[in-house]
Structures are given as C-alpha cells and as structure tokens.
Amino acid sequence: MNYPSIFNDVLGPVMRGPSSSHCAASLRIGRICRDLMDGDIKNVVVQYDPNGSLATTHKSQGSDMGLFGGLLGWTADDERLPHYQHGIAEAGIDIRIKIEDIRADHPNTYKIALFNDREMRELTAISTGGGMIEVVEIDGSPVSMFGDFHETLVYVESAEKVLAYLGATIDCDALEVSAGRTRFIGIKSQAFLPDNILKELLAMEEVRFIKQLNPVLPVMSRKNLRVPFITCAEMLAYNRDKNLDLWELAVHYESARGNISHEAVYERMRDLVGIMRTSIHQGLKGTRYEDRILGCQSAGFQAKMDSGQLVGGDVLNRIILFVTSMMEMKSSMGVIVAAPTAGACGALPGAVLGAVSALGLSEDDSIKAMLAAGMIGVFISAHATFAAEVGGCQAECGSGSGMAAAAIVGLAGGSLDQALSASSMALQNSLGMICDPIANRVEAPCLGRNIMAASNALSCANIALADYNALIPLDQVVETMDQVGKSIAHELRCTALGGLSITKASLEIEARLNALSGAEELDLAARKFKIC
Ligand code: SF4
C-alpha cells in the first residue's frame, strides 16, 4: 500500500521551475545518478520514449534544467538552476538526449546511461507527479526506490556469503538481492552503514564495489510503516470517539507517517506557509524572466482592485490576486512550494492565503487550513494521482481545488463533514479537465485554470457551509478521478500534442519563444503529423 506523506507527496518540494513533475522530479533523479557515479560524471545519454510526455516537453517544461542541476548536485531551489547549461558546460559534462523507443510503460520515463573514465552505470526512473519519483531499474536489474531511504548497493560476484554476513551484522529496513543483469544486494536503511562494516564488506572477495545513494525526500520511510487511516471512510471511523478537526487529523496522520511529533508536523507546516507567503509577496513586487509568455499581470489586477474598478467580491478578488502572483513567481523561476504541483502552485496557496488575508485571520489559521488541505491531498495521492501526464489537469488544478475547498471551510469555522463535502464537490466539478499547455510552457492556460480552481474552491466551500448535499462521498470521487484521468487521450495529458497546445496561435508563440531562446526551430510539420 502507498502511504503518502503530506510533506513528501502533497505539499513540497520547495523549488524553482515551471513544473514539479519535470523540474523537481528530474533533479531528484539527477542527484541519485550523481551518487551512483560517486560524483564523477563525464558523459550522459538520456533516452525518452517518443510516446511519452518527455519527448516533446523535456526542454520547455524544465526536465533538462532539473536533471542537469541534479547531476551537478544542486538542490531544487538553487538559484543557479536557470543557468543550468552554463553549469554543465563548466563541469565538463557532455549530455546527449535521444528520443527512441525504450518500451516505456510510464509517460515520464527517464532512461539514463552515465559514464566516467572508470565505469558505466545505467538507471531508469519515472516521475510520478508533484516531484515524486521512483527508480525502477539500475544496471539492468529491477529496483524500487522512492528516495525515502539511505540506499546501499553492494555489487557482488555471488550473494550468499555476503547476505549471511549482512543478516547477522546490520539492522536495516530491507535487504534484497537483485534479480537481473547485474548482481547486487540492495540495503534500505535509516542511515548509511558504518565505516567498519563497509571496510569488512570491501575486504570480502565476493564484493566488487559499493554504491551509496542518499535519500532525496524530506520525510523518510521505515520498515513496517503504519498510518492510522488511508481513506476518508477510515478517517471518519478513526475520529468517531475523538471529534478532531480535519487539520488535527492531518497532524495525527503525518506524525504516524513520518515518525515525528505533532509539534514537528505543525512547525514544518509553519515553514511551508512562510515560504508560500514570501513567494506571493515577492510576486506582487514584480517578476521578470525571458522565456515566458505572459508579463506581470498581478500589479494591474491589484491597481484595479484597489481603485474599485473590478466587480465586487473582496475575498474572491484577493484570492485571484494571490493566485496570479504565485504563478508569476513560478514562471520567473522564483522559489515556490509545489502544492500539490508546481503547475498548480497557485490555486491552493492563493485560495487559502487570499482568504486569510481578506478575512483578517492569523498565521495559525493558515497553518491549520494548509494541514487540512494536506490531508485531502493524501487521499488523492494514495488513490489517484497528481501527475498531469497520467490524469490531465484535473490531477493538478482539480486536486488543488479539492484541497483548498476543505481548507476554506475550516477557515470559516465549518464542520469536518462540511469540509469533506466541499472537497467532494470541488473535485466533482474538476473531472475531465485536460492538460494542454500553450506554447508548451507551464504558464497558460495554467494561470486561468489555477484561478478557476481557487474560485471553484471558494464556491464549493460556501455551498458546503450552506449544507448543499455533495451526494458522492469523497473516496468515491477520488476513485472516479483516477478512472477519468486514465481515459483522457494521450494528446491531452501534458504532451502539448492536443487541445490549446496545437492551435495556430499557440504554435506561433512557441516558435517565437524558441527563436528568442536560441532553441531548435519548432518542427510544426512533425507536431502536426503526430497530431494526425
Ligand atoms: S494545464 Fe494544468 S496540468 Fe497542464 S501544465 Fe497547466 S496547470 Fe499543469
């Protein structure tokens, strides 16, 4: 069973770049590649499947930026990321990207070969949405690594004796011999093996060499991990004799999931809320970035709002302003929190912090609202997806909307049942939303979809507070989201091969931006051919 963590899977990473499933995920993959090569990389060959999402989006949506930054050992919020090509050139790393049939099952598959003067290693990984990853193969042998353990790979000629030694010597979370082209023993643990054990291993004639891969997620997993509930129905049963609010249930869940105290969960959320607030306020001061479609629009919106030139609605207009500002920070490579993704980083924080600001509420109200939103996100992450490549924009902005609706009910002092109804209705309204980025950039219609998601959240919070009947329980809506997402056509799931992405105007903007940034000329004929 998948037990998502609020801080791994739902809110975060803290990052720069247009897309978490492209930039932050690829950066994490790059960092694991760097560890696999002990930090010494000379040449890299990256393969993307022509039928996946990355073949058409790896450059414009930031996979190159993230992957190259990760290969250099940078963090997801490193300010050098926009200059990744310079960094790679300076490090003397030669990278080739090939679009080839790699028989990928997942639309976001990275097949990477790494070389230095001594060795060649191979790694295949997928980006699963919101910056999350899974490494599925190393050196031709299947693995399953999510970046939530210290991973040690002991490459062996034969495993038996080494396995017996490890079984008797170390306490770890998992110990497994690979089945595939290369023989290694994979060890998952809370910390790397002590030096004396490594020394003893390397002295054994069966051991060839050892690789150590650092975790890339903020919250670790562990053996026999248990959570108090993983569906909404289970949560309600858990709460029967407790009468907790949604934000308190989120604290209980995350504390069990991450093996951290209730206070630590609360304070970690305080940090994220602080980063979100800073992003919005910096965005309002104005942002600049060359490879961008839209200019700075939040300043104009604020001017008209302040001078009474907009249709009234203080809370909604403050929310629209905050969503826009956050999206402008993202599009100018500023630091944002993926919430639940970078493409949908505006809807939830804009709705919650906009409502808090308009209603004159406190920082603690913001933290509690964001925890409540995180709890809804756990259910979506566990039973559907945040990846637009898998589920369209309903997975990103739709999820943000469902999370924000529950959070706003909490801000208004509504009940747990009303929060869950609001979330159910907001998700119902988002089903089937496609992903068709204009000019192959995560900017438009993303801005509008984030604003719509936040507006939908506010409306659904209000109708839930007025006790409208959601009819379909949240668990069943999430299940439906998953099914609907899978039935959206490939062209409409973040491939830039359908919808608005292939309108004449979109292709013209894309060609103009590519010319400006010195990127390859857009092959319109090839894109149109693919569309046919
Ligand atoms: S359309 Fe939606 S899912 Fe697609 S890139 Fe934009 S925000 Fe993300």
- If one counts every other C-beta atom within 10 angstroms of the C-beta of residue 511, the result is 16
- What average pLDDT does range 220-227 have in this prediction? 96
Check pLDDT > 80 for residue 532: no
Strand residue runs (E) in 252-332? none
Q: What pLDDT is recorded for position 289? A: 87
- What average pLDDT does range 192-215 have in this prediction? 98
Ligand 1 centroid to residue 166 C-alpha, Å: 47
Say how far apart CA 394 and CA 403 lie, in whole Å. 12
Residue 397 in contact with ligand 1 by CB distance below 6 A: yes
- What average pLDDT does range 200-209 have in this prediction? 98
Check pLDDT > 90 for residue 56: no
- What average pLDDT does range 2-18 have in this prediction? 95
- What average pLDDT does range 56-67 have in this prediction? 90
String of DSSP letters for 350-363: HHHHHHHHHHT--H
Q: Measured in Å, how far apart are the chain's first and last C-alpha atoms?
A: 39
Say how far apart CA 41 and CA 293 lie, in whole Å. 35
CA-closest residue to ligand 1 atom 8? 343
Q: Degrees (nearest 5) of the Cα angle 172, 173, 176?
A: 90
Check pLDDT > 80 for residue 519: no
- What average pLDDT does range 314-341 have in this prediction? 97
Position in ligand 1 atom list of the atom nearest CA 393: 3
What percentage of residues in the chain have a pLDDT greater than 90? 91
- What average pLDDT does range 338-359 have in this prediction? 97
Q: Is residue 53 very low, low, confident or very high in pLDDT (cuts 50, 70, 90)?
A: confident
Is the CB of residue 222 less than 8 Å from the CB of residue 178? no
Q: What pLDDT is recorded for position 516? A: 82
Q: Per residue in 155-200, pLDDT tens? A: 999 999 999 999 999 999 999 999 999 999 999 999 999 999 999 9
Half-sphere exposure for 37 (CA within 13 Å, toward CB) = 28
- What average pLDDT does range 61-85 have in this prediction? 95
Say how far apart CA 366 and CA 372 lie, in whole Å. 10
Average pLDDT, the chain: 95
Q: Per residue in 31-46, pLDDT tens? A: 999 999 999 999 999 9
Position in ligand 1 atom list of the atom nearest CA 396: 3
Q: Is residue 21 very low, low, confident or very high in pLDDT (cuts 50, 70, 90)?
A: confident
Say how far apart CA 74 and CA 28 lie, in whole Å. 9
Q: Is residue 527 very low, low, confident or very high in pLDDT (cuts 50, 70, 90)?
A: low
DSSP label at residue 110 = E
306 Cβ neighbours under 8 A, 6+ residues apart: none
- What average pLDDT does range 124-132 have in this prediction? 93
What percentage of residues in the chain have a pLDDT greater than 70? 97
Residue 336 in 3-state DSSP?
Answer: strand
Q: What pLDDT is recorded for position 531? A: 37
Pair type for strands 109-115 and 132-138: unpaired
Q: Per residue in 431-443, pLDDT tens? A: 999 999 999 999 9
Exposed/middle/buried for residue 516 (C-beta within 10 Å: 0-12, 13-18, 19+): exposed
Check pLDDT > 70 for residue 457: yes
Q: Is residue 528 very low, low, confident or very high in pLDDT (cuts 50, 70, 90)?
A: very low
Beta-bridge partner residues of 133: 127
CA-closest residue to ligand 1 atom 3? 393
- If one counts every other C-beta atom within 10 angstroms of the C-beta of residue 199, the result is 10
CA-closest residue to ligand 1 atom 5? 442
What are the tokens at 172?
A: 């770890």
**Count of residues making up the chain:** 532
Exposed/middle/buried for residue 222 (C-beta within 10 Å: 0-12, 13-18, 19+): middle
Which residue from 396, 491, 500 has its CB within 8 A of the most atoms of ligand 1, so it is best to mutate?
396
Residue with tokens 């609907």: 484
Say how far apart CA 462 and CA 474 lie, in whole Å. 17
Q: What pLDDT is recorded for position 324? A: 98
Q: What pLDDT is recorded for position 518? A: 67
- What average pLDDT does range 229-241 have in this prediction? 98
Q: What pLDDT is recorded for position 96? A: 97
Check pLDDT > 80 for residue 530: no
Residue 445 in contact with ligand 1 by CB distance below 6 A: yes
What are the tokens at 127?
A: 């980006």
- If one counts every other C-beta atom within 10 angstroms of the C-beta of residue 227, the result is 19
CA-closest residue to ligand 1 atom 4? 435
Residue 449 in contact with ligand 1 by CB distance below 6 A: yes
3-state SS string over 193-247?
Answer: CCHHHHHHHHHCCCEEEEEEECCCCCCCCCCCCCCCCCCHHHHHHHCCCCCCCHH
Nearest to 56 by CA among 446, 435, 340: 435
- What average pLDDT does range 104-119 have in this prediction? 96
Position in ligand 1 atom list of the atom nearest CA 18: 5
Residue 380 in contact with ligand 1 by CB distance below 6 A: no
Ligand 1 centroid to residue 296 C-alpha, Å: 19
- What average pLDDT does range 16-44 have in this prediction? 96
Q: What pLDDT is recorded for position 520? A: 60
DSSP label at residue 493 = B
Say how far apart CA 269 and CA 274 lie, in whole Å. 8
